[in-house]
Amino acid sequence: MVFDYLEGGADGELAVKRNRQAIELLCLRPSALVDVSHIDAAIELFGHRHPLPLVIAPTGLNGLFWPDGDLELARAAAAANIPFAMSSASNARLERIPAEAGGVNWFQLYVMGDRKTAERMMTRALASGYTALMLTVDVPVGGHRERDLRNGFKLPFKLSPTTAFDLSLHPRWLMALMRGGMPSFVNLADAESGETSVEAQAALLSRSLDPSLVWENLSWIRRHWPGTLMLKGVLNPNDARLALAHGVDGLIVSNHGGRQLDAAQASIDVLPEIIAAVDGHLPVLVDSGFRRGSDIVKALALGARAVLLGRATLYGLAADGESGVSAVLQLLAEDILRNMALMGTPSIGHLTPERVIPPAR
């Protein structure tokens, strides 16, 4: 059940496959006899310098994969000196991340029907030292995730005979869950009672968010968040231009890892259009489907400032907590540097669109 939640996508999972296929079909054009004795993969992003063009993406229910999963991810990110994006659907109080992990932290916001909840989370994130807000904009309704429906993965959770048998086959995971407690969406808690309603948790798990959110509501966001504001889930160049007109500070090109609109384009396919639409006026990041250093190099060559990692680092988390996440980041770092050397590109500035060869039509 937990594996399906991590691995699965929407409907027929075509967008999940499309993300991988689109990246794999791109080829790279190397240059020979270039001094690559020193490779620099560092980037500047929102006033911070990072040694790698990576961000740990916001993901929910990380406590299912490892006890205190959000904190384990954040610690690995801080050790690697890359940003960590904390999800509204996290299982740790958002105040714990800057206090216990340190590093550069961003907060990802889902706006639910009760906008007071979003306002409370923005206020708390700002007070806690988060340096950027990431508003996810591709969830007016939840994606139709058939694996989760088949497994009864919803709130309130009901233990069926099939699920009970499934859990019994994973005693090590079950013991860890019992020690850490059942994960819940603790950041939805009411400020006065400290309690989170089952209805609010169910709405967030099913992504039953505010379908009336529109561009004009960005002014409401700005009243509560004066700092760096990014939009996550942009796939349309017209939306990129609107974001620029509304004073957004950054964009994340994303199809939500193939978990929302199954017929959506692959993120990397639309990336050049989004970059062209903003014409260098704000940084563009990308996620969905990135597994290897060569994948990341392709996105950087097309103009992405950084790549967000979702499933890749979650597999490391599920395998070995913080150490597993750090191992994944180390593998990707080595892979990025090796591919840049093989490309004859000693720095990210040498990665340009002509280095990427699209598939023959």
Inter-CA distances, 151 with 146, 156, 266, Å: 9, 13, 27
Torsion, Cα 289 228 275 25, to 10 degrees, reads -10
Residue with tokens 């070995």: 320
User: What tokens were used for 41?
Assistant: 């993969």
Contact call for residues 42 and 51 (beta carbons, < 8 A): yes
Do residues 87 and 130 lie in contact, with contact meaning Cβ atoms separated by under 8 Å? no
Q: What single-letter DSSP state applies at residue 264? A: P
The rounded distance, in Å, linking the Cα atoms of 190 and 192 is 6
Which of 135, 132, 155 has the alpha carbon at shortest distance from 46?
132
Q: Which amino acid is at 305?
A: R
Evaluate whether 257 touches 9 at the Cβ level (below 8 Å). Answer: yes
Residue 9 structure tokens: 């996508």
Please indicate whether residue 256 is annotated as part of the active site. Answer: yes
Question: What are the tokens at 98?
Answer: 């800057």
Could you tell me how far CA 353 lies from the centroid of its own chain?
A: 24
State the residue for tokens 């050049």. Answer: 272
**Distance (Å, rounded) from C-alpha 358 to C-alpha 361?**
9
Question: Minimal CA–CA distance to 237: which of 264, 275, 268?
Answer: 275
Residue 324's contacts (CB-CB under 8 Å, 6 or more residues apart) are: 66, 315, 316, 317, 318
Entry field: residues in the chain = 361
CA 157 to chain centre: 25
End-to-end CA distance of the chain: 40
Catalytic residue among 144, 224, 256, 350, which?
256
What secondary structure letter does DSSP report for 163? Answer: H
Instruction: Cite the active site residues.
Output: 256
